[in-house]
Amino acid sequence: MAKVFRFHDGSNNIEDWQTSTAYGKNAIEAIKDPNGSSANKEITSIPSPFARMDLVKTAFENLVNLNQVDGKTIFHKMVSDCLDVGEIFFNSDKLKEKINIVIWDKANDLNKLLHSSNPKHKLLGETLKLYLEQDAKAYNFDKIQRLYLLNYKKGNNELNIIGGTSPATLFFTSANKLDIDIQFGTDIVFDNHYQPLYKRDFNFQKFIFGIRKFMPNFNPLFKGVDDYLEMNYKMLSHEQRTILNNYTEDNFNTEFEKLTIGSDGIVEILDFPLRKKTESSIDIQNNSGFVIDSEKCKEASKPLVLPIDDFSDKIVYTTAIWDKNNRANISDDRPLKERTLPYDDSIYPYLTISDFLEPYIIRTIYPIDNENFFNGNFSVNSGEISKGFLLPIKKEYFDYFNVEDLQGVTSDGKKIIKIKQSSTGGVNVTLRIPIKNRKYVTYERTYYPPMNDYQITEPDLTRNKGAIIENQFGLTLFPFLKLEEDTQNFYRIAFMDRDILEHNKNNKYSLDFFKNNDNSKVIEKAVKQRSEKSIDRISSEYYVLEEGFDYIVVKNNWANGVVMPLFKKISQGTADFTFAVDFGTTNTHIEYRKDNGEPKPFEITQNDLQSASLYNLKNPETIKSINAVRANKLFDLIIQEFKPGELNKKSEFSFPQRTIINSKKNLDLNRDTYALSDFNIPFDYEKYPILPNAYIRTNLKWSDYTTDPNEIKVIDAYFENLLFLIRNKVLLNGGDLNKTKLIWLYPSSMSTYRIRLLESKWNELFKKYINKSIPPEKISESIAPFYYYNTHLGVNALANPVVSIDIGGGTTDVVVYTNNNSELLTSFRFAANAVFGDAFGRSSKINGFILKYLDRMRSLLESNNQPDLSGVLEELKNEGKSEDMIAFFFSIEKNKKIKDSNIPISFSNDLKFNEDFKIVFLLFYTSIIYHIAKLMKAKALNSPRYITFSGTGSKIINIADGSDKLSGLTELTQIIFKDIFGEDTNTKIDLKQDGNPKEISCKGALMITNNQNKNIEILKTVLLGTQEDVLIPTVPKSYNDINASVENGVVAEYNDFIDWFFSLNKKISFKNNFGINQTHLNAYKESLKENALDNLKIGLQEKKNELKGDLDENIDETLFFYPLIGGINHLAYNIHTELNSQEA
Amino acid sequence: MKNYLIVIALLLFFQFNFAQESNSLEYIKAVDYVTCICINDALPTGQTFNCQTETLSKATISDSKTLALFEEFQTLKTQRNITDYLNFLSEEIFSDRVKFKKIHDFAEKRKGAKLDKIKADIKEYIRSSTTSENKESNSSESSKITSDEINSTVNNGETETDQVGIKQPKLNSENQFNIWIAMLFVLICTIAILLIRIYILLNKNVKNLNARIDRRTKTEELPNIRSHYNSQNLNENSRIEKLERNIKNLEFTISKLSSPTIYKEEKSPEVLFEVPKAYIPQSIVFYMATPNKEDGSFDISSQTETFKPTQSLYKFTVDNSNSSKAKFEFFSDEAGIRDSIDSPQTYIDPVCEPQNARNPNAKKIITTSPGTAEKRNDKWVIITNAKIKYE
């Protein structure tokens, strides 16, 4: 049988040729597709665009016939691509960088073609017209005004049409093969993974179903599509179906804006306006599971936190689950609000790893002290921890979280941050950022060490590789506590920079301080530099802050790192503290009482450390690490320019402390200055050599601050330093600042003006640092010691008076007590410095004690291998002040190293056993007792029962009398009072002395009750010093009244005293009782009388100079001692030269 | 280096061309022979040539058609990439109507025994011009035999005395030998050039090292060392000795290679090995930074083999006879001296005894007598302090 040539089945009874009819639907459907619908290549050979529309329509119909919503046939592909086009239209707002809409106007554009002068255009126009007319009914061409085409702007050609609206199927694709970089959720458009409608973004589904529901005559116009939608509807969840069923046109119109193309109007399909998704970041925030879980973030759109590695948790990203193969960018330089979400293109803020982690991590040369600073949960794979790392966290992290969050754990107990060092030296940092629903995104970055110590490696962020940078620096915070109320926080932060290798010596550091609350920067009050790297091989900067902070960002030329102190949060306690400060000429001491307990010396122990450094000196690894690179200056400078950690008798440093202050040499006092910044109390003075750039100021008490306003800044700084220590002591020991009191001691010989200046400084600083309610109280130094003896040693001034003698460096204060109250007070500038100093500006080159003992002490130090003390001695010698050298000699035997090593150096013992110089000390003592006896007699007071001694200078009496009970001096004293008062005086006199004479002034001050603190002005009495017992102010006498007669009278009295003194030898053998060599006594007597008048005149002149012309004031100290000051100095020199000539 | 590579490339090119040249000459001769016997057949009797001894030329041909045929034969000389010219000249040219029409027509007219004879003649000639070493040729070099060729041979009934696997005509033994010589020559030249280059480089390195050693010996005695101090001093001497030995070996090798003698059986060249001189161990030196304040010891973990600026303060020399004992002296740069003078309690006092008072303005710290130390566990413990002076 012959074969009938046809595509479809049919009758075979045909001969030759026969008339056939047009292929109808059945015939078409009977045509077998040799490849079946599984062809993976689209049918693209039909050139007409309208045929493409037909193909899409057929695809919809075929799917309906197959009743398969899901599948891999060519029809599924065409429908999926068609829906992709629809979804692009729907998301056109966020895709405007990639897509634009091109209009083809049926009337205008077709006419242009038809009337074109180009015959080919005309032909095209006619062809299009033909199809439009012919297929008007089949494809609704008669109803269209415009077609809207999608142009992909990032394609290779000028126009890259990917699809458009279709009057047959809503949308159609062009089937052009284009690489389109558009993705909705996990679905890439036009890819090989076909996505039916029900699996798409529900908003888009609502949109399509909305068109179906609200477009008039949707079904006859788009039957295939309608049937397809029906199939999808059955695949939806019950909840989704309910939403769609209840969906109203108002909902549709409100939820989706009309899609417009600028002035060209609304995009429509058969006059039904097409709509678009309203870009609402609220949708993303509501839907996405990656929204950062931060209560601190108050932004309207909380950013997403996106993974950069495998993330297999099933979390909705924007409209779909995050694909585990997706990776967010490692860094994004755009501002947060301008970022577009990866794989989505919506403009919405998101965060990635480089927003939280720095490219560099700073490594310290010592382990971080993890008791005081958060170390990021640092651990090592093996071995000791010998280095530390600053936290490589960007400060932007704290826009979302607080410091406590970083120190905490995730919902499943994992640490928020972990830093782990590997055996190769690299470091792995893991940071977990909480997101919604108690989940978190984990970021990990490995930081690699440099190839050698002299290099800085560049990080490679494209591969998420950081770099380690090692720096030598130290950071100390003072105080290491934080008050709840922020306005009461005062800080000093010391930063030492010892980056001196070639590649980093030009590093410049800065510190920024931030608060938790709003991650705001705390502006420092001042930043002061002391040491400079170019000169001192280390630089030091001190930050002054008057607000609290929670973390610090350390910055250098390359890197940033975070330091997070674990502050002690302090609430004020209830204990009552009272402090007494003895601001002495040579030494300063502080005692305190807590809740009326026993007075104690001010100490800082391990239990109440006030400062903390990044390193822990108790950790042997720290010492090892620092020693290995010779970075010891980082520690040493803290003691020299800032403060030592501990201050107590068991440590190297304690009170009483020299009254001195340290600053850099060229400090400009015309600018604002601060304690523990520009100035500090150098507790290591006289223990270790001072630095070349240091400038030590002594004699603070008597410096020129009355006339030079810059000098008062020095006093300011000194007091501020002390008050800082006091304040922290109270806070760390459960005290209440509001109940804290301060007593400060002043010498009775100090002028009222000077006292008032000091008072104003104390008051001002006390208000700032302690409280405003209880002003500091001042007490005369002279009055205080008695109350210590009274309360602790049972000394009472009832039947007979008690004399309290406070011998300092420059001044001796004497107070006579009757009925346990101060009766009279006198003060004179005849104290320890009169014995050891350079009287009236003489040189140490003619100071007998220096000439005698300088070489000896030097030799003792050298032979006992104490080169550091030798160094100190050399420095003091170069300065040439005898009293400083002598003070140093006395201090050696109290030096901790000397005591611990049992080195037999004791200047006081040397003096005690020197039979030649002893006369000086005896004379010193006798002259004071003599004067007091005369004064008391002139005042018609009884002979005293007790004489108490206080003040550092009172140790002289122990040199005079080597016995521990002072029996020699006791007897001498009795004799003196008998001689002065007369033979009928039988009162037994006891001498009282404390082992810590400096401290008892403060102790006594703490024991005084209110009514015992009298205005000393009314007690002041001066015995003029002539042979007549002239008492001032009973007999007013000013400096202007001093004439030759008075001077001669003083000299006569002085000479009488000298004669009388040496006559005492007959009553109490100087040799037997005091071990004094009597060989040259007569010569000494004559020597003392030499130049008496000159000495008196010099003394008077100095006094007058001090008074600066104010000579009408009553004479405020006796003239008796002036000749003696010069006399004693001369005597000591003569003793030494006499000895030397003998030895020669 | 670039120049050396150009020379090597030129040598290789020369060798290649030489081989190429040898091959093409044979082919030209074969073409001439083919031309001759074919034109002979076309010429009238009496005008023929002895193709073994005579060369045919254009001038000898009067007939235009024959001349055209002759010229077509001459175009064979310009053919390229002919891997099997025996087959080409005996079969292909006669059967390729498109490329060689005239030759094809010539063959058609003589189809049959006459043509077969001509072909056999050609084959014999070509074969006889190759060497007897054809026997060693491997089968991969066999010429391609078309099915037509085999069929025609079988159909003609002729028995081919030739082997079925017709071999590619080979170079004669003399030519092959020349090519091997050329290749060997190129190889030797290449090796010689590389050795000379290595020698020059090593020489340069040695000179540089010597210069650096000279500089170093001049400055090493001064305690004030510049902070850019090179860290290779410890092993330089042994490195230099090693390099010198290598250079001597290379010089010997080059001298042997410079006048190569080619042997049938290659012997490996003699290489003289120098017995190294007896190794005298040098003292081990290392450096330490800050001593421990408490006990004046040094942690072993902080020792460095080379002086480190901003770090090293003390130089230790280990006793040759007892590696757990060492002497030490103060040894540092300006920064280290300054630090030590400013803070002797940290850097000097734990391990030194100053012989004079500390001078804040001193510029040097001289060790008048080194101290001694002993290695115990992980520390170097000081036995006797070093004596130093500030100057």
Give the total number of structural domains in chain A: 4
Of A167-181, A453-467, A567-581, B228-242, the range with the lowest mean pLDDT is B228-242
- The answer, yes or no, to whether residue B265 has pLDDT greater than 70, is no
Q: How confident is the model at residue B222 (pLDDT cuts 50, 70, 90)?
A: very low
* Residue-level pLDDT at A175: 72
- The answer, yes or no, to whether residue B170 has pLDDT greater than 60, is no
CA distance B350 to B297: 8
H-only helix segments in A837-962: 848-863, 867-879, 882-892, 896-900, 907-912, 918-938, 956-960
In a domain, A881, yes or no: yes
Query: B112: helix, coil or strand?
Result: coil
* Residue-level pLDDT at A1020: 87
* Candidates B226, B345, B379, partner chain A, best to mutate (most A CBs within 10 A): B345
User: Under an 8 A CB cutoff, do A630 and B338 touch?
Assistant: no
* Residue-level pLDDT at A39: 53
Query: Based on the number of CB atoms within 10 Å of its own CB, is A846 exposed (0-12), middle (13-18) or buried (19 or more)?
Result: middle
Q: How confident is the model at residue B264 (pLDDT cuts 50, 70, 90)?
A: very low
Render pLDDT for A1050-1080 as a digit per residue (tens, 0 to 9): 999 999 999 999 999 999 999 999 999 888 8
Final residue in a domain of this structure, among A780, A805, A824? A780
| A662 shares its domain with A728 | yes
User: Which positions in chain A touch B347 (Cβ < 8 Å)?
Assistant: 630, 632
| CATH code of residue A823 | 3.30.420.260
Query: B326: helix, coil or strand?
Result: strand
The pair of structure tokens assigned to A716 is: 């300011």
User: Under an 8 A CB cutoff, do B228 and A502 touch?
Assistant: yes
* Residue-level pLDDT at A528: 96
Query: Based on the number of CB atoms within 10 Å of its own CB, is A1140 exposed (0-12), middle (13-18) or buried (19 or more)?
Result: exposed
A contact set with B (CB within 8 A): 453, 500-502, 537, 623-624, 626-630, 632-633, 636, 688-689, 691-692, 858, 862, 865, 867-868, 870-871, 874-875
| A179 shares its domain with A236 | yes
- The answer, yes or no, to whether residue B135 has pLDDT greater than 60, is no
Q: How confident is the model at residue A166 (pLDDT cuts 50, 70, 90)?
A: very high
In a domain, A365, yes or no: no
In a domain, A10, yes or no: no
**Mean pLDDT of chain B, nearest integer:** 75
In a domain, A283, yes or no: no
- The answer, yes or no, to whether residue A356 has pLDDT greater than 50, is yes
* Residue-level pLDDT at B62: 72
Residue range B278-284: mean pLDDT, rounded: 66
User: Under an 8 A CB cutoff, do A501 and B347 touch?
Assistant: no
CA distance A228 to A222: 10
CA distance A208 to A220: 16
Give the best-scoring range by mean pLDDT among A960-964, A1087-1091, B179-183, B330-334. B330-334
User: Which positions in chain B touch A628 (Cβ < 8 Å)?
Assistant: 289-290, 299, 301-302, 311
**Mean pLDDT of chain A, nearest integer:** 89
| A730 shares its domain with A862 | no
pLDDT exceeding 90 applies to what percent of chain A?
Answer: 58
User: Under an 8 A CB cutoff, do A689 and B310 touch?
Assistant: no
- Residue numbers of the domain that contains A118: 33-277
Shortest distance between the Cα of B218 and any Cα of chain A, in A, equals 24
The total of other beta-carbon atoms located within 10 Å of residue A525's CB is 15
| A985 shares its domain with A904 | no
- The answer, yes or no, to whether residue A725 has pLDDT greater than 60, is yes
Render pLDDT for B287-342 as a digit per residue (tens, 0 to 9): 999 999 888 899 998 899 999 998 999 999 998 888 899 999 999 999 999 999 99
The per-type count for chain B, helices as H runs and strands as E runs, is: 11, 9
Residue range A21-37: mean pLDDT, rounded: 66
Render pLDDT for B84-134 as a digit per residue (tens, 0 to 9): 888 889 998 998 888 898 998 999 888 888 899 899 988 888 888 765 444
pLDDT exceeding 70 applies to what percent of chain A?
Answer: 95
User: Under an 8 A CB cutoff, do A627 and B228 touch?
Assistant: no
The pair of structure tokens assigned to A94 is: 């966020």
Residue of A nearest to B355 (CA): A862
* Residue-level pLDDT at A8: 63
Is B313 at the interface with chain A, CB within 8 A? yes
* Residue-level pLDDT at A278: 76
Render pLDDT for A94-139 as a digit per residue (tens, 0 to 9): 888 899 999 999 889 999 999 999 999 999 899 888 888 888 888 8
Q: How confident is the model at residue B280 (pLDDT cuts 50, 70, 90)?
A: low
* Residue-level pLDDT at A38: 58
Shortest distance between the Cα of A624 and any Cα of chain B, in A, equals 7
User: Under an 8 A CB cutoff, do A630 and B301 touch?
Assistant: no
Residue range B12-35: mean pLDDT, rounded: 73
In a domain, A654, yes or no: yes
Shortest distance between the Cα of A685 and any Cα of chain B, in A, equals 13
Residue scoring higher pLDDT (A936 or B58):
A936
User: Under an 8 A CB cutoff, do B347 and A871 touch?
Assistant: no
| A821 shares its domain with A846 | no
| A903 shares its domain with A920 | no
* Residue-level pLDDT at B137: 42
Residue of B nearest to A627 (CA): B290
| A1048 shares its domain with A1109 | yes
β-sheet bridge partners, residue A11: none
β-sheet bridge partners, residue A421: A380, A427
The pair of structure tokens assigned to B320 is: 């040759």
Is B162 at the interface with chain A, CB within 8 A? no
| A729 shares its domain with A815 | no
| A918 shares its domain with A901 | no
The pair of structure tokens assigned to A501 is: 């290798």
Residue scoring higher pLDDT (A450 or A809):
A450
Render pLDDT for B40-86 as a digit per residue (tens, 0 to 9): 888 876 667 777 777 677 777 777 878 888 889 988 988 877 778 88
The pair of structure tokens assigned to A900 is: 């611990």
User: Which positions in chain A touch B292 (Cβ < 8 Å)?
Assistant: 623, 627
| A205 shares its domain with A238 | yes
Residue range A682-701: mean pLDDT, rounded: 90
Task: Look at residues B371, B223, B380 and name the one whose alpha carbon lies nearest to residue B303.
Answer: B380
Residue range A658-668: mean pLDDT, rounded: 94
User: Which positions in chain B touch A624 (Cβ < 8 Å)?
Assistant: 299, 301-302
Of A173-187, A322-336, B80-94, the range with the lowest mean pLDDT is A173-187
The alpha carbon torsion through A836, A839, A841, A843 (nearest 10 deg) reads: -50
User: Which positions in chain A touch B308 (Cβ < 8 Å)?
Assistant: 453
Q: Residue A1120 to residues A2, A1048, A1056, A1127: CA-CA distances in angstroms?
A: 159, 11, 11, 12
CA distance A23 to A34: 19
Task: Look at residues A1014, A1034, A1031 and name the one whose alpha carbon lies nearest to residue A1022.
Answer: A1031
| A606 shares its domain with A701 | yes
In a domain, A448, yes or no: no
- The answer, yes or no, to whether residue A322 has pLDDT greater than 50, is yes
Q: How confident is the model at residue B257 (pLDDT cuts 50, 70, 90)?
A: low
User: Which positions in chain A touch B290 (Cβ < 8 Å)?
Assistant: 626-628, 630, 632
Is B389 at the interface with chain A, CB within 8 A? no
In a domain, A121, yes or no: yes
Shortest distance between the Cα of B372 and any Cα of chain A, in A, equals 18
Final residue in a domain of this structure, among A910, A929, A960? A910
User: Which positions in chain B touch A502 (Cβ < 8 Å)?
Assistant: 227-228
- The answer, yes or no, to whether residue A762 has pLDDT greater than 90, is yes
* Candidates A472, A531, A618, A627, partner chain B, best to mutate (most B CBs within 10 A): A627
User: Which positions in chain B touch A633 (Cβ < 8 Å)?
Assistant: 339, 343
Shortest distance between the Cα of A531 and any Cα of chain B, in A, equals 13
Residue range A212-233: mean pLDDT, rounded: 93
SS3 assignment for B260-306 = CCCCCCCCCCCCCCCCCCCCCCCCCEEEECCCCCCCCCEEHHHCECC
Final residue in a domain of this structure, among A761, A780, A799? A780
- The answer, yes or no, to whether residue B258 has pLDDT greater than 80, is no
* Residue-level pLDDT at A7: 65
Task: Look at residues A15, A10, A17 and name the one whose alpha carbon lies nearest to residue A31.
Answer: A10
Residue of B nearest to A498 (CA): B310
Residue range A855-871: mean pLDDT, rounded: 85
Shortest distance between the Cα of A504 and any Cα of chain B, in A, equals 12
Residue of B nearest to A637 (CA): B343
User: Under an 8 A CB cutoff, do A867 and B357 touch?
Assistant: yes
| CATH code of residue A683 | 3.30.420.40
Residue scoring higher pLDDT (A471 or B267):
A471
- The answer, yes or no, to whether residue A706 has pLDDT greater than 50, is yes
User: Under an 8 A CB cutoff, do A628 and B301 touch?
Assistant: yes
| A114 shares its domain with A124 | yes
Q: How confident is the model at residue B225 (pLDDT cuts 50, 70, 90)?
A: very low
**In sequence order, which residues have a C-beta less than 8 Å from that of residue B336 and are 6 or more positions away?**
A630, B310, B312, B313, B347
Residue scoring higher pLDDT (A1010 or B172):
A1010
* Residue-level pLDDT at A738: 94
In a domain, A585, yes or no: yes
- The answer, yes or no, to whether residue A534 has pLDDT greater than 70, is yes
Residue range A227-240: mean pLDDT, rounded: 94
Size of interface A-B (CB pairs under 8 A): 84
Render pLDDT for A276-315 as a digit per residue (tens, 0 to 9): 887 666 678 888 999 999 999 988 889 999 999 989 889 9
- The answer, yes or no, to whether residue B165 has pLDDT greater than 60, is no
SS3 assignment for A339-354 = CECCCCCCECCEECHH
* Residue-level pLDDT at B212: 67
Query: A184: helix, coil or strand?
Result: strand
